[in-house]
Amino acid sequence: MIRAHTVEQVRAAEAVLLAELPEGALMQRAAHGLAYAVLDLLGGGYGRRVLLLVGSGDNGGDALYAGVVLARRGAIVEAWLLSDKVHEAGLAALRAAGGRVRRLDTSSPGGSDYSTSQGPVSSPFDVVVDGIVGIGGRPGLRPQAVAALEAVRGIPVVAVDVPSGVDVDSGEVSGPHVTAEVTVTFGTHKIAHLVDPAAEAGGVTHLVDIGLDLPAPALEALQPADVAALLPRPASQAHKYTRGVVGIRTGSTTYPGAAMLSVAGADCGLAGMVRFVGDAAVLDRIRTVRPEIVGDGRVQAWVVGSGSHQTAEGQLSATLDDGVPIVVDADALEFADMVAGRRAVLTPHAGELAGMLGADRHEIEARPLHFVRRAAEAYRTTVLLKGRHTLIAHPGRPVRVTTTGTPWLATAGAGDVLGGLIGALLAGGLTPYDAASVGSWLHGAAATYASQGGPIVAGDVARALPAVVASLPA
């Protein structure tokens, strides 16, 4: 499991360790981890040109001490100080190691300092280390930092702890910020490493263990071993009914494809049987390609909504009496009030969640963590907000983030497959929270598996599911 903690949790854990360790030891751990990540990116140190952007706090201190390690490895290190305040011991150590230092004119509003008072930026650097601001920063960047970044635009950036300028605890961005190839973080992931839009700004996250002892996380991301441990697997004496039956009430004569794709997601082999309840002509079409699909009867989970069009409300209310968990998707989300407080998974994209909460789509995209939590509290059930990093919230539990997937997954019908798959996992006995997060993980992994870097359609994702399940650790 990848876990992410809030700044407050990190500060508390750091305080314990700082009291136990000699002064500066924790920063040395961080700086060495950072330096090795930079060496890794550059393929070595000797002769490489490294620029450190150094802010006023310990984030800048990390960058300066990493510069010391890099200079000792033969790198040509230059530090641009963006504030009058600086980590003095780190600065002295960098100077002693042969690093060059430019103290920028911080009284200027920025912009032209680099070609006037400081001289032009003559030689390009191989890498920029962003030590502008870390977990102590406020969102946004000051003009000096903006100007410095502008002067080195195009050079790969390694961010120290977080890409400077993002809101660490929410993953929101509300002004200029760093966009990094790699972010080297310490002790634990922060929320901004997993939640968009900040997560996208940080590139690949590299975690350096500095020995923090941390409480329950605010956020978590399942890894293959977690998915394998949660996956419902058939017992040796299993039969189709003990494995669970999933019922699909999706599609319509207008949208038979939605029904076929929901069924394809459900019919991945993770439930014992799949029922389709809907138009007889649609069922006939499904059976021409999936003869194992049966009609109405008892189920352990329902999937409702995609392509249901005007029938969505009726389809949803028809499932309620069974008292089994329900996946509520697409057209049925408008009637999600009906499942408030019940075992359910609501699966909106940003536009649908905007409709449910009376918010604006762009607001949801800018603050996905905030809104998915709000929806889970409002509906008192599991809410899965689709996105590049899908979020799954359930009251009282850490929000789960899905980091599998590929941009090729943005294709028609992929959501129908996901709904069916989550239904199968619910029928197999998972809680709505686990079914949503395991389903979302498998869906993303199947897309990547099917895509191999190229385009895919929704049916490819469904077809890849058994292979992805088979590839999980036993």
Ligand X SMILES: NC(=O)C1=CN([C@@H]2O[C@H](COP(=O)(O)OP(=O)(O)OC[C@H]3O[C@@H](n4cnc5c(N)ncnc54)[C@H](OP(=O)(O)O)[C@@H]3O)[C@@H](O)[C@H]2O)[C@@H](O)CC1
Q: How far is CA 105 from CA 83, 112, 116, 140, 182, in A?
A: 8, 10, 10, 20, 28
Q: How far apart are CA 161 and CA 258, in angstroms?
A: 43
Report if residue 133 touches ligand X, rule: CB under 6 A. yes
The footprint of ligand X on residues 61-80 (CB under 6 A) is: 62
Rounded to a whole number of angstroms, the minimum distance from the CB of residue 128 to ligand X is 16
To the question of whether residue 423 is assigned a binding role by annotation, the answer is no
**Binding track over 137-166 against ligand X, x by CB under 6 A:** xx-xxx--x--------------xx-----
What does 459 bind: ligand X, K ion, none (CB cut-off 5 to 8 Å by kind)? none
CB atoms within 10 A of CB 20: 10
37 binds ligand X (CB under 6 A): no
Known binding residue 413? Answer is no
Please name every residue paired with 172 in a beta bridge, in sequence order, or none if there are none: none
Considering only 6, 9, 83, 404, the residue that binds ligand X (CB under 6 A) is 83
CA nearest to 141, candidates 9, 30, 53, 52: 53
DSSP string, 157-194: EEEESS-TTS-TTT----S-----SEEEEESSEEGGGT
- DSSP letter string, 342-399: SSEEE---HHHHHHHHT--HHHHHHSHHHHHHHHHHHHTSEEEE-STT-EEE-TTSPE
- Is 236 assigned to a binding site? no
Candidate segments 29-37, 151-159, 310-318, 345-353, binder of K ion by CB under 5 A: 151-159
Residue 462 contacts ligand X per CB under 6 A: no
Q: Does 404 bind K ion (CB under 5 A)?
A: no
From K ion, ligand X, none, interface partner of 9 (C-beta below 5 to 8 A by class): none
23 contact partners, CB below 8 Å, separation of at least 6:
none
110 is in an annotated binding site: no
The reply to whether 55 sits near ligand X by the rule CB under 6 A is yes
Of the ranges 25-33, 46-54, 156-164, 288-296, which one interacts with K ion (CB under 5 A)? 156-164
Cα 149 from Cα 278, distance rounded (Å) = 58
Q: Lay out the site mask for ligand X across 204-223 (x = CB under 6 A, - = otherwise).
A: ------x-------------
Ligand-binding site membership of 33 (annotated): no
User: Chain-centre distance of CA 123, in angstroms?
Assistant: 36
Out of 6, 9, 56, 164, which residue is the one contacting K ion (CB under 5 A)? 164
Whose structure tokens read 């009496």? 321
CA gap 364, 349 in Å, rounded: 9
Identify the sign of the CA torsion 150, 154, 160, 162: positive
Q: Is 62 annotated as a binding residue?
A: yes
Contact positions vs ligand X (CB under 6 A): 14, 18, 26-27, 30, 55-60, 62, 83, 85, 132-138, 140-142, 145, 160-161, 186, 210
Positions touching K ion (CB under 5 A) are: 130, 159-160, 164
Q: Which residues are annotated as a binding site for (6S)-NADPHX?
A: 58-62, 134-140, 161, 258, 307, 349, 416
